Structure 1
């Protein structure tokens, strides 16, 4: 067996080595297996696409055998290595001890050899070597003294030489003389001579600069490139490169600075009412002219700057930044004045100004590309103070969560570094350009809210007059809803234009407040103007089945008004769900853009200009709330399957949903109040009826004979009330096909979730409950369903709610208003309550309070007293009321 295994092993030696080498070079196991199992072409040259199962099984068996052999060889080699290490470790300590002894012996030998060498050196030779060393030291010090004396001699004539060269207008030689003298300043450092010589150097440089300034300005204005280049070299030699740039920038930007300063804008409060003219221009019109003028100057300066300056790209950046920082009034001041004057509608003006600014930045970027391609090879930069900027650079110090954490997986690190370096180069002028907009961008949510509120006020400005003129209010509500949704859809474009998606959190907040304010205004109007009527559907009033109901024309009008308003609310709810889907798609696009910018910052940026995107990334808009929102949107989109009608997610506009259902609840309460108004009218005189104080027990005869007793008939008032309750199902049969009744059933008064769920499963749509609502939820989810409502179930829900509402009114307001109850009055009240209980049970209404009233009223006085004694420690308000009415307290 062993011999056979060894033969097999030898036959597989070469394949095993090759397979092991290929396995070590392969990064993925699956790809290695696929490559290894690829069948070779047969001898006939036929191309076999897929190997037969038999051949594949043979290859797998052979590969397994090969891997087993390789594994066994590796185990054997590992065992040999472990054995060698085990045998070598005990000897290691001996080898280290031996090396230590050898090192100590070598040290002692070296010490002995050193003593012997010193002893062999004659004393006279040692003295000569020391003398030579001292002479060399003296020589080097004398040479240093000579150099210092020469420098001192040159400094003594420096002022005279430089002054004479300046007088002769030999500026280049004067600059070289000052440069040479500047190099020797190090000699006098930390000596009393340093400060006087430094002051002399600065004074002479100032004289040279003053002599050159007038000629430099003339050369700049005349666009004498050769002279400017010569003067730039002189300024660089005397370490005044930054001053040259200041002269150049000031001369070339003078026209646009004058344009900015001389233009007075009425929108920015710079023109008084007396000075207002018909031809005044807006801020955006002026801004377009300003950017056009600045672009023209940049195009003109492209060739001179490339010829004069060694770093044309950085020079262009500094030129634009210095121009923007030199504006008076400043760019931020004019934007602030514009915001104060425009107030609620400043958002559109800011968006227009930002678009013009972005277009200008894009055009500048193209000029930068031309400069970069046209410029010569970069010249070595001089180490001078001109490296420092000549104007203050405002940097954004806001901290935020960066979208670019961690290494990039799709772009090489060198590409990322190149992109980031290019971005840092142009950041100076881009930051000066977009910094004024940053405060308004971070305040986008408030600006959008103010704009929407102003637009809402304009849309609804004429509604008050139309309502006075008795316009169809449900129709007006639907029309205004169309206007509001159109206004809201435009907000996504404004958010993208001003913040490029970073203001998504503020957008949702503003939209939520818009719909909330709109619905709350209509709910308030409904509560305060219920007396207003609308046109009446004559077919309902003249219905023979409803002719005997106690509703007036005004009641029918209110019923139809509430139903139409509920129908409008249902339409708005469906429109709101569709709008939220659009909003989610917009947020999903933002999340996708942000993800691409994070994965590939070289090819994808947030916004058209990289510098603006970096400012927004560093602002407070890039917050935890934004990250959470976009992550949630992406997760919802990932888990949403195309076959689903509605994705499983929470609504974005929570307050809007609550306000909508609060409005629906207001309509339902108004409708119920109108429906129950005849019943309440019947009970208006019920507490003051004389029958409650009638003496005697009508169930007993005057002779106290033992005769059978019978239940008292209900009072006439209670019979009318019962008749009205029994007519309620007929009323709902008329409106059975009206979808308005099935909307927001969960907000019906006195109808909890379990009751509603017990009526029908198809109508249960869990929705937000308005603040102060009567419904309680263990959890609330927002899932809209398209199931058709069952009219009978809807009618049952309404009848159940109406029954509880009416019985609550009876037990809480009518019955406690009775002043007193005699024995006969208590018997009559018990009969009325029992009759009322039988009626409401037909409507599936079970009311604990009504049952208690009936039970306590029927009690004998002795039982009542005992009940009161038993309930001294417990507060039973109904028992206390009945005891008070019967004079037991």
Structure 2
């Protein structure tokens, strides 16, 4: 909330009292107005305006402090005036209380004196007679109940023998109402046991006739029997009889299924074998047909058709053998790595069944609304129905109680409170929670299939860059299928797992290629090279294999750029997919009555209560939706209680990070492997020239004594032939890049070039953008960019490569070649100094400043005493090891 000029001091203090942390209160109080969609560059908060808010807040706080101090002074003044009167008020109250006590004693005495003794005796007699009458009436009622209970067993048994089931039920109901009389007495348990025993006899007598009526679909008789069971409080047992009889065909169909990819119970060998995914839709179709057939009888018999159908569905699935979870687990295990796609088909069939059931429930709801409600059975005040301690003869072990299946006690239940759909989708929950593992296994298997297919088709013999691109195309296609699977199987709740699976999938693919290229030299390839260019660069001392290796590395680097563009396009689709999920979640939260995330509210509730519904999920969706809308149009409403707008200020100013973080790292590593291979090939002739350099005889040559005595003037020594050839090779490197200046591969992933300063590269690219366009490049637009980045100036690319090659060469010289010199005489040191100075000038022409090369040159020219001192210092601090090395080869240590 921004500070308002009309805000009162009291409101300001009230807002401060709502915070435990002053910093949070200041941040919320100084919260600036929302930024507008101004693209002219005024999106950031004006510091002057912020200063005005702070000044206004300080002024308000000063006023609040003054008001508080004034109120505190008034309170202290009032208290100081009131305290001296407190003792007087307490003394006055004590006197009043004593006076009242005396008055009450006098009144009580006068009231007793006003009643004659004869009247008092008569009143006591009346009270005594009333007590006797009340207790006699209670005793009479107990005796009547005892007399009734003494004949209860005989009456009910005779009525059952006469098949007067309704009268027997009514007699038991009347006796059950009198049970409250015996509560908290020793007579309660024996009478309760007798009641249960008589109810069991009545149920057993009715069971055969009930089963016959249910099988023959005698609705009238079933309705009459349900009324009897309701009177004796055995509604659940009647439902169990009814459900067990009507579900027989469905249970038999499940048990006799001849499945090829799941456990069978007693398969029907006359039935053709089929997969579980093929059988399940047929099973659901038969189940829906049965439910539609039962809709009429259930509506006529039961007072709560929706709850009855819910119980029927739940009890049917509970009676299946093998159970649905067991058969689903066997099905998943059979299909192994590719089980996810088959699970999607099974879940889709289950959701279609659930949708059909919901339509049936809607019909029952509206047909039930016009039916008159039967009156609820009367119960005495304070009576609470007790659950039977015995197990009904119609209840079988392994079945769930109706209360656990969402079956209410009576009335018109809300369809959303029925739990049949949760019972239906519960077996899938473990697989849905494990979605990231299933998806990754499916993708890895897809990759193996692609590689196997390439091997069978002879694709391994084609050039590697082409194979890399074609496999990447197949992988992106497989990844696009992951979006559909995630939506179908987890309804978007597995988005975080999807990102992890895709990231690991792509990065594993790229890392495999990087490992292959890093572990072995590239395969010989036949590349066509422009004959004129080859003739022009003939003096670079490259063999045909060198040219082929350079071309192969550049083609791989170009393929990496192509794959990067593929991933950019795919990530744009991925962001759009996640934004759609976020929008769907928001819509379901805003209007939960008309929109659900999954197929049914029960399935949605299961997913919401699972570990898939995590803070990471909603943080991901919030970030993606915010990026899709643009940072200038932040989220205004949360998706849920945990879906909050990310208040990290970095998200307000920086470009959104890639969702496939590890993939980007792996692709950068692959590009670096290609770049290193290219540089290794380019520098191979120069390294070959450097091979004999440490063993030149000039390093150990001694100075001629006669020349030393003549004191002849000294002149700069010419560099050795090896160094001259090296210099020519280094100076010819720019010509090599002129040939490839139109190749976009060199411009890909310049930041991974070895020895290239990222800050220098950034400054060069910023200078290019500044010179080439007046439009700022750091502004965020309302939508994510989907086009390719602007091409980099070839001069910037060539300069970066030359700098990297120069550092690579110098590092090889200073770390491998120069330390291999065994000894160095005076003339040798002079020659080495001339060579190093010459090379230093050459590499500086390539914009290479190498500290190690300069240290070698300085150390070779340093006098003996000074070099010895630096060498001894290096032994102490371990810093200048070059001075120590030169001192040793000079023989000074």
State the TM bucket, normalised to the shorter chain. Answer: 0.7 to 0.9
Unpaired stretches in structure 1, ≥5 consecutive residues: 1-85, 397-419, 766-780
Where does 1:494-643 land on structure 2 (aligned, <5 Å)?
494-539=485-530, 543-640=534-631
Unaligned runs of 5+ in 2: 1-77, 380-384, 390-394, 406-411, 634-652, 771-783
Match of 2:846 in 1: 843
Instruction: Write out per-residue CA displacement over residues 674-725 of structure 1, whole angstroms, 9 at most, x where no aligned residue.
Output: 000111111122222333222x126x75472121112222222222222211
Matches within 5 A, 1:390-405: 391=400
User: What are the superposed Cα offsets for residues 725-746 of structure 1, whole Å, 9 maximum, x if unpaired?
Assistant: 1111111110011111011111
**Are 2:251 and 1:244 aligned?**
no
Alignment match, 1:189: 183
Is the 1:687–1:814 contact (alpha carbons within 8 Å) kept by the matching residues of 2? yes
Aligned-partner Cα distance in 2 for 1:869–1:627: 62
Contact map agreement 2:258 2:274 (CA 8 A) in 1: no
Asked if the contact 2:264/2:322 (under 8 Å) is kept, the reply is: no
Mapped partners of 1:641, 1:528: distance in 2: 48
CA contact (8 A) 2:258 2:271 kept: no
Once residues 393 and 550 of structure 1 are traced to their aligned partners in structure 2, the CA distance between those partners, rounded to angstroms, is 89
Q: 2:743 aligned with 1:748, yes or no?
A: no
1:422 aligns with 2:414: yes
Greater mean alpha carbon deviation, residues 116-125 or residues 711-720 = 116-125
Matches within 5 A, 1:189-588: 189-270=183-264, 279-375=272-368, 376-382=371-377, 384=385, 391=400, 422=414, 424-426=416-418, 428-463=419-454, 470-539=461-530, 543-588=534-579
Are positions 1:667 and 2:674 aligned together?
Answer: yes
> 2:703 is matched with which residue: 697, 715, 730?
697
Q: 1:825 aligns with which of 828, 852, 863?
A: 828
Partners of 2:193 and 2:271 in 1: how far apart?
59
User: Whole-Å Cα distance in 2 between the matches of residues 703 and 132 of structure 1?
Assistant: 152
Q: Secondary structure at the match of 2:540?
A: coil
Deviation at 1:660, TM superposition (A): 0.8
Structure 1 Cα separation of the partners of residues 745 and 403 of structure 2: 59
Q: Tell me which residue corresponds to 2:112.
A: 118
**Partner Cα distance (2:475, 2:714) in 1:** 69
1:30 counterpart residue number: none
Farther off after superposition, 221-230 or 854-863: 854-863
Q: Deviations for 1:532-591, whole angstroms, at most 9, x for unmatched residues?
A: 022222315863211222111111111111111111111221221222121111111111
Return 632-641 or 606-615, whichever deviates more.
Answer: 632-641
Residues 845 and 587 from structure 1, CA distance in 2 versus in 1: closer, same or farther, beyond 3 angstroms?
same
C-alpha deviations, 1:781-835, integer Å up to 9, x for none? Answer: 9999732221122111101100000100111011111222223322222222222
Measure how far apart 1:867 and its partner are.
Answer: 3.2
**What SS does the corresponding residue of 1:648 show, helix, strand or coil?**
coil
The answer as to whether partners of 1:188 and 1:194 remain within 8 angstroms in 2 is: yes
Residue 777 (structure 2) aligns with: none
Structure 1 residues 309-318 or 664-673, which shifts more? 309-318
Q: Distance in 2 between matches of 1:877 and 1:330?
A: 75
Q: How does 1:661-810 map to 2 (within 5 A)?
A: 661-694=668-701, 696-697=702-703, 701-702=706-707, 704-761=709-766, 786-810=789-813
Could you tell me which residue of structure 1 aligns to residue 890 of structure 2?
A: 886
* Aligned mates of 2:654, 2:881 — CA distance in 1: 49
- DSSP 3-state at the match of 1:619: coil
The 3 A distance-change label for structure 1 pair 869 and 103 is: closer
1:878 and 1:421 mapped to 2: Cα distance?
88
Give the whole-Å Cα distance in 1 for the aligned partners of 2:806 and 2:481.
46
Greater Cα shift, 785-794 or 306-315: 785-794
The Cα shift of 1:640 comes to 4.8
Matched residue count: 756
Q: Would the alpha carbon gap of residues 385 and 225 (structure 1) be closer, same or farther in structure 2, given more than 3 Å must change?
A: farther
Q: 1:509 to 1:714 in 2, by over 3 A?
A: same
Shift of 1:271: 9.3
CA-based RMSD of the aligned residues comes to 3.4
Q: TM-score, normalised by structure 2?
A: 0.79
Aligned partner of residue 543 in structure 1, secondary structure? helix
Is contact 1:165–1:174 with CA below 8 Å preserved after alignment? Answer: yes
CA distance in structure 2 between the partners assigned to 1:469 and 1:290 by the alignment: 47
In 1, the alpha carbon distance for the partners of 2:526 and 2:570 equals: 32
Which of 132, 147, 165 pairs up with 1:153?
147
- Cα distance in 2 for partners of 1:463, 1:822 equals 61
Q: TM-score, normalised by structure 1?
A: 0.79
